[in-house]
Amino acid sequence: MKRLKSVFSPDGQIKFELEITPRQIFYRVFYNNKEIIKNSNLDIEIANLKSPKFDLKSFKTLRFNETFELPWGEDQFVRNFYTEAEFKFEKFILKVRVFNDAVAFRYEIPKNQETATIEDELTEFNINLDSTCWQIPAFMPDRYEYNYEAIKLYDIEGSVHTPLTIKTPENLYLSIHEAALYDYGSMTIKLNGENILSSNITPLSDDTKAHVKLPFNTPWRLIMIANSAIDLTKNRVMYCLNEPPKGDFSWVETLKFIGIWWAMYVGEWTWAPGERHGATTAHAKEYIDAAVRLGIKGLLIEGWNEGWEGNWLENGVNNKFTVATPDFNLEEVASYARAKNIELVGHHETVGFVDNYEAQLEAAYNYYAANGIHYIKTGYAGSQIVINGKKEYHHSQAGVNHYQKTVELAAKKKIMLDIHEPIKGTGIERTWPNLLTREGARGQEYEGGALRPSHACYIPYTRLLAGGMDYTNGIFDITNSVKRISTTLARQAAYFVTIYSGMAMAADRPFMYEEKFPELFEFIKKVPTNFEKTVPLLGEIGDFYVVARKDRNSENWYIGGVTDQDGRTVKFNLDFLDDGIYKAHLYLDSKDAHFRDNPYGIKISQKRVKNSDTLEIYMAPGGGFAIELEKVNSL
Ligand code: NOJ
Ligand code: CA
């Protein structure tokens, strides 16, 4: 005997269908009556629990419609509009939400016992394997820091991370991801024994997937659906599937910052103490003064604490987060920064030694808080993390819980976080707005050989569907001899628009901004870190991406574009603008610019535009552009 139940999106275009047989349940997804996900198994394996039969005890649906506000981000208002269905079985409740642009579901395990060990989750996504996907491998030493590659789904080897973006042979764009990842292993995707795309939950070192207290809800399994690559980037369902904030986060503020950072990457300074130590009291004061002159609110200081000597990757097990090096007086630097109205961004490089970090966590946050430091960048370099003496994956349940502990403790201390080598974004910043940004993909630290111009044209359609990223933008010293940059100069400004980050770093040294390219720096100085709305304009995965964003605190708009190794001209109209006149400040590649041969070829100009105008912009190979549209009242 089998039963069929259907749930439709509010606009009727998407149908989720559940087939219930005594032994198994399957779902299917239809888009405009076309089956886009075929028979896909749903189940979860709980230790010591003999699988009861799938006997539907109750079924209810509801329609939900609200618009909520985010305190910061790419869009101020997000519509949360779906049909929900609750399928109650003995083992779990399957909760399904069907949006106009996504399907999501999760397992809710009732409190039939106190705790449960999840041995496996058997969620399938039976999508045509002849589809193309853009993927990075999971369970690898560099975590999420790999180059995206386009392959056919049937060529997936091992497991890949989400968001896993897919283009079907019918030219439909899907992205499989998850939302609200708490207390559970991160979902990776593999081809299972039946050669069907399926979940592979990151295991713990004891080879189980998670140990949980009941009742327990798994994260939402999310499938975003769009007709074009650019429309996929408009999807905000991940945030809809997270809870509103609990508590007062009115103190949270996005930030632009410079850093004692790139000088280490290009070998001028070092993280470790010594003759060329970067984080000295004197350097910090110089950088604070520079931040004031540049009109940048924040300053990151890395390498300030004990632990960087010798092989820091190995010695990091002893890192001290409350002990500064002898040449760095934290109290003095912090009070200097306060007097100049500069926010310091503290730094905790754990090197993955989570036990060592957690032992000092409260003291470390108190130390910064006592010195008026409200922002911390954390880091988890290393192929795995050490928790309770065991090596675990960053994206395992143990890792997820550690990152969450830092977010919650930071919230208590009114501290905002930028997490490097993080757990992937699943929208929890809606609930915890003090988690301002993450890295979690290759950023510009990989320049100098490992980054291709196409990289920044992949991530808007893949990694950035998981939320903002600290890409460490704005390196103007393109031709430096250590980490040669694979972009043009103009593109470094574009990144501030194409890669959203609640904490955005202008990563080069101040002299590059003040002395070498002050005119281009004007854009970086003015581009906001908090937007009222985002209008993705044009793009194709791995080829190019053009996006416009409106400032949350003014009438001004900002447009950014990036292209791969091929130069191209893009054309778009400005119909998203309000009526009136805008002064456009254009920072464009020159006709002869080229990321390899002529990276500094830039053309800066101004002109007046209005919403009936069309712009035609050339992007050089490896190039990009940035435009500020400043609202002015008259011609
Ligand atoms: C890797 C991070 O991504 C980078 O930003 C940081 O500077 C180094 N780790 C050292 O902590
Ligand atoms: Ca990194």
User: Nearest ligand, CA of residue 381?
Assistant: 1
**3-state class of 516 per DSSP?**
helix
User: By C-alpha distance, which of 570, 492, 544, 517 is closest to 233?
Assistant: 544
Q: Are residues 514 and 590 in the same domain?
A: no
Whether the Cβ atoms of residue 458 and residue 149 lie closer than 8 Å to each other: no
What percentage of the chain exceeds 70 in pLDDT? 100
Indicate if ligand 1 lies below 6 Å from the C-beta of 381. Answer: yes
Residue 49's pLDDT is 85
Q: Are residues 490 and 368 in the same domain?
A: yes
Q: Are residues 71 and 134 in the same domain?
A: yes
Residue 2's pLDDT is 86
**Does the pLDDT at position 105 exceed 90?**
yes
Q: Are residues 222 and 292 in the same domain?
A: no
Residue 53's pLDDT is 84
How far is 399 from 354, CA to CA, in rounded Å? Answer: 9
Q: Are residues 573 and 479 in the same domain?
A: no
Distance 10 CA to ligand 1 centre (A): 44
Indicate if ligand 1 lies below 6 Å from the C-beta of 438. Answer: no
Domain-ending residue, one of 178, 205, 240: 240
Of 146, 349, 451, the residue with max ligand 1 atoms within 8 A of its CB, to mutate for a pocket test, comes to 349
Of 311, 313, 420, the residue with max ligand 1 atoms within 8 A of its CB, to mutate for a pocket test, comes to 420
Residue 257's pLDDT is 99
Indicate if ligand 1 lies below 6 Å from the C-beta of 439. Answer: yes
Domain-ending residue, one of 463, 495, 527: 527
Q: What is the pLDDT of residues 413-422, one digit of tens each?
A: 999 999 999 9
Indicate if ligand 1 lies below 6 Å from the C-beta of 253. Answer: no
**3-state class of 33 per DSSP?**
coil
Dihedral angle over CA of 573, 578, 581, 585, nearest 10:
-60
Whether 183 is covered by a domain: the verdict is yes
Whether 140 is covered by a domain: the verdict is yes
Q: Tell me which residue has its CA closest to atom 3 in ligand 1.
A: 420
Reported confidence tier of residue 633, pLDDT bands at 50, 70, 90: confident
Whether 53 is covered by a domain: the verdict is yes
How far is 207 from 623, CA to CA, in rounded Å? Answer: 46
Q: Are residues 516 and 612 in the same domain?
A: no
Distance 41 CA to ligand 2 centre (A): 36
R_g of the chain computed on alpha carbons: 25
Residues 367-395, mean pLDDT to the nearest whole number: 98
User: By C-alpha distance, which of 597, 609, 594 is closest to 564?
Assistant: 594
User: Nearest ligand, CA of residue 347?
Assistant: 1
Maximum pairwise Cα distance, the chain: 78
- Which amino acid belongs to residue 485? I
Whether 37 is covered by a domain: the verdict is yes
User: By C-alpha distance, which of 122, 223, 111, 113 is closest to 166?
Assistant: 223
Q: How many CA atoms lie within 13 A of 193 on its CB side?
A: 2
| Measured distance between the N- and C-terminal CA atoms of the chain, rounded to whole angstroms | 73
Indicate if ligand 1 lies below 6 Å from the C-beta of 420. Answer: yes
Minimum-distance ligand 1 atom for the alpha carbon of 443: 3
Indicate if ligand 1 lies below 6 Å from the C-beta of 302. Answer: yes
Q: Are residues 175 and 210 in the same domain?
A: yes
Q: Are residues 554 and 581 in the same domain?
A: yes
Distance 84 CA to ligand 2 centre (A): 38
Give the angle subtended at the CA of 482 by the CAs of 481 and 485, to the nearest 5°: 80
User: Nearest ligand, CA of residue 441?
Assistant: 2
Q: What is the pLDDT of residues 33-92, one digit of tens each?
A: 999 999 999 999 999 887 778 999 999 999 999 999 999 999 999 999 999 999 999 999
Indicate if ligand 1 lies below 6 Å from the C-beta of 349. Answer: yes
User: Nearest ligand, CA of residue 265?
Assistant: 1
Q: What is the pLDDT of residues 218-253, one digit of tens each?
A: 999 999 999 999 999 999 999 999 999 989 999 999
Q: What is the pLDDT of residues 253-273, one digit of tens each?
A: 999 999 999 999 999 999 999
User: By C-alpha distance, which of 61, 105, 73 is closest to 241?
Assistant: 105
Distance 469 CA to ligand 2 centre (A): 11
Residue listed under structure tokens 């295991």 = 203
Minimum-distance ligand 1 atom for the alpha carbon of 420: 3
How far is 187 from 194, CA to CA, in rounded Å? Answer: 19
Domain-ending residue, one of 171, 205, 240: 240
Q: What is the pLDDT of residues 8-17, one digit of tens each?
A: 999 999 999 9
Residues 28-34, mean pLDDT to the nearest whole number: 98
Indicate if ligand 1 lies below 6 Å from the C-beta of 470. Answer: no
Q: What is the CATH number of the domain that holds 448?
A: 3.20.20.70
Q: What is the pLDDT of residues 449-468, one digit of tens each?
A: 999 999 999 999 999 999 99
Q: How many CB atoms lie within 10 A of CB 269?
A: 23
Q: What is the pLDDT of residues 427-439, one digit of tens each?
A: 999 999 999 999 9
Q: What is the CATH number of the domain that holds 111?
A: 2.70.98.10
Whether 181 is covered by a domain: the verdict is yes
**Active-site residue numbers?**
445
Distance 311 CA to ligand 1 centre (A): 15
User: Nearest ligand, CA of residue 472?
Assistant: 1
Residues 488-499, mean pLDDT to the nearest whole number: 98
- Encoded tokens for 54: 């799938």
Q: Are residues 292 and 440 in the same domain?
A: yes
Whether 485 is covered by a domain: the verdict is yes
Reported confidence tier of residue 635, pLDDT bands at 50, 70, 90: low
Q: Which domain holds residue 437?
A: 255-527
Minimum-distance ligand 1 atom for the alpha carbon of 377: 5
Q: Are residues 331 and 463 in the same domain?
A: yes
Which residues have CB less than 5 Å away from ligand 2 (the ion)? 420
For 415-450, the three-class secondary structure string (H helix, E strand, C coil) is CEEEECCCCCCCCHHHCCCCEEEECCCCCHHHCCCC
Q: What is the CATH number of the domain that holds 608?
A: 2.60.40.1180
Whether 390 is covered by a domain: the verdict is yes
How far is 109 from 94, CA to CA, in rounded Å? Answer: 9
Q: Are residues 162 and 73 in the same domain?
A: yes
Residues 575-597, mean pLDDT to the nearest whole number: 98
Whether the Cβ atoms of residue 603 and residue 588 lie closer than 8 Å to each other: yes
User: By C-alpha distance, which of 226, 352, 338 is closest to 285?
Assistant: 338
Q: Tell me which residue has its CA closest to atom 7 in ligand 1.
A: 261
Beta-bridge partner residues of 582 = 609, 631
Whether the Cβ atoms of residue 596 and residue 427 lie closer than 8 Å to each other: no
Q: Are residues 438 and 338 in the same domain?
A: yes
Average pLDDT, the chain: 97
Indicate if ligand 1 lies below 6 Å from the C-beta of 145. Answer: no
How far is 489 from 592, CA to CA, in rounded Å? Answer: 13
Distance 583 CA to ligand 2 centre (A): 38
Q: Tell me which residue has its CA closest to atom 6 in ligand 1.
A: 379
Distance 313 CA to ligand 2 centre (A): 13
Task: Please state the domain count of the chain.
Answer: 3
How far is 42 from 125, CA to CA, in rounded Å? Answer: 9
How far is 472 from 262, CA to CA, in rounded Å? Answer: 9
Whether 534 is covered by a domain: the verdict is no
Which has more pLDDT, 179 or 635? 179
Distance 327 CA to ligand 1 centre (A): 21
Minimum-distance ligand 1 atom for the alpha carbon of 261: 7
Distances (CA, A) of 219 to 181, 222, 460, 468, 591: 5, 9, 23, 20, 48
